[in-house]
A and B are shown apart, each in its own frame.
Chain A
């Protein structure tokens, strides 16, 4: 009997730098390295590979402002079948992961899904918590930091990395996975891919269509009080010497004297 196709949803978050740049408060003035949070790109790549093996569909799901459409469009160009963008009509740029998880839950409860993939980290340092929070809200199992997966019928077996080694675990679908960095190398977006993406549907939903005002205003939003960029506090001292030995001795002396290390 052929394995059943897998209906997948991969969440895509816009890279934080791009969001901030769009709102004029970019932390980094450098050219964007990514449009999508790079961890979400890894999650999406894994979803595409699962589709190649098992069939089914991949939907890219995002919550954001109009600027976020670029991230969903990019996911379509990589190969996702369709996109869903839930428009954030709330004031402020800071999006609490609990709010995002709550909104994804409301949407996902209305559609059938076998596997949800999210990145295991986010560059701003908090929004990757959407994955475990979403799994909890949907009462489905969550396996995080997955470095390898294999679907067998209605079961998924994953190898995950932990701070002290690796664990192999198995759980029934539907489930949520967060993907570890290094799980795969996300494919490049090609020109034909971009052209195909233009023809693919993006379902743009207003927040009020999926959530009543009460459910949203009920959420207590964190409020940013201060935001301070840490300065580069390092001033380089090169170890000098005629030979490697001399350089190394100079380095050890500096480490010993100036920093009390060693």
Chain B
């Protein structure tokens, strides 16, 4: 039996993540060249409606382990179950999303399976012996190519650049029964931040820095609402206690790569710039015409953000209504 490509899906029981579809489409395309079969692994319980949608993306096999312990991510038991699926599916390449949890899972899987591993990947090619992996390093400041000669490759893929393309050939659904141990880590409480869409996946990110002057980020939130985006903060805003650490953008926080990044009242420290370098378009609003952020921006407005941002919200509303007519 020749080896397969295994995609580890991400879902919330009702819906698969967008990156899951992008990963599957990419795996499908790759399998066309390499003649590998594609398996998709679905951990935990999933609605039949969501599963039906997954079948439209061309996995040859959809492998389920319908155990409630896998409904939410837990590193130790996921490592246990996914590594056993990798072996059962005879996977030569395992694709994961580039989310924090999947990056960690990649590392733990590689440790257990003695596999090669790379994260922040943009492309994987199968060589006669081993793999050629393209990936980002130093945030997105450098792009590198690596050769890995392990038998199995675990790759966490930067999926924002991939498209999701439905494909023919609905997969066979395979239910696996694998004993799932209890996690060594007990979850006591879970607080989902509903207002906050994940920064690392957002198409539009609005962020505020010292120039905001306090914990009230409401004008940025209104702007984000207009643009369907997420709100982040610079390190100085987080250090000042205005925003939680999970909202910090930069080399020591979340690295973002949206289509549009708008920096408001952020001077542009190096560590912040490194965290936004992957953005398609960067726009900056700052009082200080010499702020370093401007040198790394595509568009800039010099002015008081408390004047510019409300105006931007107003003009965006007008702009949208013009577009609709």
Contacts and interface: CB of A to CB of B under 8 A. Distances in A.
A262 B223 CA distance: 13
B277 interface: yes
A199 interface: no
A162 B141 contact: no
Interface stretch (A49-57, A73-81, A248-256): A248-256
A236 B141 contact: no
A130 B148 CA distance: 18
Interface string B217-253: 0000000000000000001001100001110101111
Interface residues of A, number: 79
Contact of B116 (A135, A220, A259): A220
Interface in A223-237: 223-230, 232, 234-237
Given A129-B104, A161-B246, A224-B144, A33 B271 contact: yes
Interface string A157-188: 10001111111111110000000111101000
A208 interface: no
B147 A223 contact: yes
Interface in B278-300: 280-283, 294-300
A97 interface: yes
A29 to B, nearest CB: 12
Given A124-B137, A166-B193, A180 B299 contact: no
B263 to A, nearest CB: 12
Contacts of B118: 126, 222
Contacts of B149: 220, 223
A121 interface: yes
Contacts of A16: 138
Contacts of B323: 262
Given A136-B79, A136-B112, A129 B106 contact: yes
Interface stretch (A62-70, A108-116, A137-145): A137-145
Contacts of B311: 244-245, 248
B299 A254 contact: yes
Which has the most chain B C-beta neighbours within 10 Å: A163, A224, A229, A254? A163
A254 B312 CA distance: 13
A27 interface: yes
Given A163-B200, A249-B315, A262-B319, A255 B308 contact: no
B188 interface: yes
Interface stretch (B48-56, B60-68, B95-103, B161-169): B95-103
Nearest to A34: B271
Nearest to B252: A181
B317 to A, nearest CB: 11
Contacts of B209: none
5 contacts: A126-B120, A182-B245, A227-B137, A230-B141, A234-B296
Given A98-B107, A170-B188, A232-B295, 11 more contacts: A33-B270, A123-B139, A131-B104, A141-B184, A163-B198, A165-B192, A165-B193, A180-B245, A220-B148, A238-B299, A254-B299
Interface of A: 16, 27, 30, 33, 38-39, 42, 97-98, 101, 121, 123-126, 129-137, 140-145, 147, 157, 161-172, 180-183, 185, 220, 222-230, 232, 234-239, 244-245, 247-249, 251-252, 254-256, 259, 261-262
